[in-house]
């Protein structure tokens, strides 16, 4: 049938020309839609003679199939072209190196605190904590430092402001970690072996003092703990911390209201060409204070001094960190960009991308 072939040519050409999905759909509707030319022809089959229908029917069906096939092929071609276009533009070079990530590092003081904690854990000490804003009772009175005692003034205490008319004694920023002794014994009694690392505050600022610094308190209470146990513990600690065979500890008679007797802790050392060597030589390095816990302190903390005794010590963490890593100015820890610490070979900083600094 000529008419059918003409329709086929017409719509195949239109399909070939269709540039997008909408145009393909338009071709489909005008050919095969309800009122499309092919559909109308299909409907005219009813008026044909049976002989005519016998040839026209299959021919029309074949036309329908051909057009559907062509339309589908055109759709697939369009989709392929769209995909090719995306593949050409939206590609990713997975072999490119990644952008450098900004990365933080452990602060040297935090790292040293972790090191110290691990060493004392090996010696059987667990970690205790207390608040940095402390009552003056825990910070002073319970530690046998009465109100008039000069060391309240010596410690350059920061006092928290009270509201007008509130006459309770002021809270303080703890001046040492010793109040944790009181809190721990009040809560847990004796015996005990704890360390208490943390921040302490004094109004002081120069090359070796910052208003906030870090201490580590030690407390061991039992039936027959002595200064000898204290000395051994400190020597074990110092040897492990400075990674040498043995660091000798020297006690220098001292005075703290909360210990009796009291001793300043020195580690044997020498300075060779400006370099500190621990455990050898004839110099001594001041590391902190210590002593046997005063009976009045045990009493204030609810522990019977007739049954229990023990030692306490307080070490300056920042100073230990400076000495271990050869950092000359304490303020560098808290005031400045930490990147320069890499000059001192601080291992925790051996990552290339510490961005910015630490500021307060």
Q: Interface with ligand PHE by CB under 6 A: which residues?
A: 176, 178, 256, 259, 288-291, 312-314
Nearer to ligand PHE, 15 or 157 (CB): 157
Nearer to ligand PHE, 251 or 334 (CB): 251
Give me the DSSP letters along 177-215. STHHHHHHHHHH-SSEEEEEEEEEE-S--BTTB-SEEEE
Q: What 8-state DSSP symbol labels residue 224?
A: S
Count of C-beta atoms within a 10 Å radius of residue 216: 23
Nearer to ligand PHE, 296 or 339 (CB): 296
Min dist CB 182 to ligand PHE, Å, is 12
Residues 6+ apart with CB under 8 A from 216: 113, 116, 177, 195, 196, 197, 198, 314, 315, 317
How far, in Å, are 5, 50, 264 from residue 60 at the CA level?
A: 10, 15, 111
Helix (H, G, I), strand (E, B) or coil at 263: strand
Min dist CB 290 to ligand PHE, Å, is 5
Beta bridge partners of 206: 209
Terminal CA-CA length for the chain? 93
Nearer to ligand PHE, 237 or 256 (CB): 256
Nearer to ligand PHE, 278 or 287 (CB): 287
Min dist CB 353 to ligand PHE, Å, is 37
Min dist CB 289 to ligand PHE, Å, is 3
How far, in Å, are 107, 119, 172, 211, 233 from residue 217 at the CA level?
A: 20, 14, 18, 18, 13
Nearer to ligand PHE, 130 or 291 (CB): 291
């Amino acid at each position: 049938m000529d008419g059918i072939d003409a329709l086929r040519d017409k719509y195949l050409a239109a399909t070939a020309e269709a540039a997008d999905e909408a145009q393909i759909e338009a071709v489909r509707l005008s050919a095969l839609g309800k009122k499309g030319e092919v559909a109308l022809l299909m409907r005219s089959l009813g008026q044909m003679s049976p002989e005519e229908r016998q040839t026209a029917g299959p021919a029309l069906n074949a036309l329908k199939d051909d057009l559907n096939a062509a339309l589908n092929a055109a759709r697939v071609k369009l989709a392929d072209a769209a995909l090719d276009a995306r593949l050409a533009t939206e590609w990713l070079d997975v072999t490119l190196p990644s952008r450098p990530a900004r990365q933080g590092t452990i602060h040297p003081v935090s790292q040293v605190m972790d090191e110290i904690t691990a060493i004392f854990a090996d010696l059987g000490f667990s970690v205790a904590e207390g608040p940095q804003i402390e009552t003056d009772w825990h910070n002073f009175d319970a530690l046998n430092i009465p109100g008039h005692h000069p060391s309240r003034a010596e410690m350059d205490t920061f006092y928290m402001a009270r509201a007008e008319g509130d006459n309770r004694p002021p809270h303080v920023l703890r001046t040492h970690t010793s109040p944790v002794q009181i809190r721990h014994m009040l809560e847990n009694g004796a015996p005990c072996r704890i360390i208490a690392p943390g921040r302490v505050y004094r109004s002081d600022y120069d090359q070796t003092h910052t208003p906030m610094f870090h201490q580590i308190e030690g407390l061991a209470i039992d039936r027959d703990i002595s200064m000898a146990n204290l000395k051994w513990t400190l020597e074990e600690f110092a040897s492990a911390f400075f990674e040498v065979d043995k660091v000798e500890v020297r006690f220098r008679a001292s005075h703290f209201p909360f210990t009796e007797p009291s001793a300043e802790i020195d580690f044997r050392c020498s300075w060779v060409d400006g370099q500190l060597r621990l455990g050898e030589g004839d110099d001594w390095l001041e590391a902190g204070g210590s002593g046997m816990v005063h009976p009045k302190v045990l009493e204030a903390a609810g522990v019977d001094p007739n049954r229990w005794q023990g030692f306490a010590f307080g070490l300056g963490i920042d100073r230990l960190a400076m000495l271990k890593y050869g950092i000359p100015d304490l303020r560098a820890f808290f005031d400045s960009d930490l990147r320069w610490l890499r000059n001192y070979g601080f291992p925790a900083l051996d990552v290339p991308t510490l961005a910015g600094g630490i500021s307060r």
